[in-house]
Amino acid sequence: MILVRQEIGEVLRELRQQKGRTLRQVASRASVALGYLSEVERGQKEASSEILASVAEALDVPISTIMREVGDRLSVLEGLQTFPDVVPDDLVAAVEPEFSLH
């Protein structure tokens, strides 16, 4: 079974490490308990959207970047060979009808 919380935790840990920050630094900057952030990174706890937003800000990374990476990982785990890199036509048409290809 695929657990989204595990993928979120892995992405957060990798981003934190890429930025050269310690768990303590990110927890402090995000105003999150160190132990809780550790559990989130290990996929043991679900992070609320507020916690994710705080951690993203502490890492200087848009939350959309984090969620995109999580989505890409889930696509791979689900066995999808490729994932679209474009907005589906029907979504574009809902926002701006002149952008629709149909």
Q: pLDDT tens string for the chain (102 positions)?
A: 788 999 999 999 999 999 999 999 999 999 999 999 999 999 999 999 999 999 999 999 999 999 999 999 998 888 875 555 566 666 656 655 554 454
Q: Model-level pTM?
A: 0.76
pLDDT computed for residue 92 by the predictor: 59
Residue spans per domain, the chain:
4-98
DSSP secondary structure of 4-68: HHHHHHHHHHHHHHHTT--HHHHHHHHT--HHHHHHHHTTSSPPPHHHHHHHHHHTT--HHHHHH
pLDDT computed for residue 80 by the predictor: 72
CATH topology of domain 4-98: 434 Repressor (Amino-terminal Domain) (1.10.260)
pLDDT computed for residue 91 by the predictor: 60
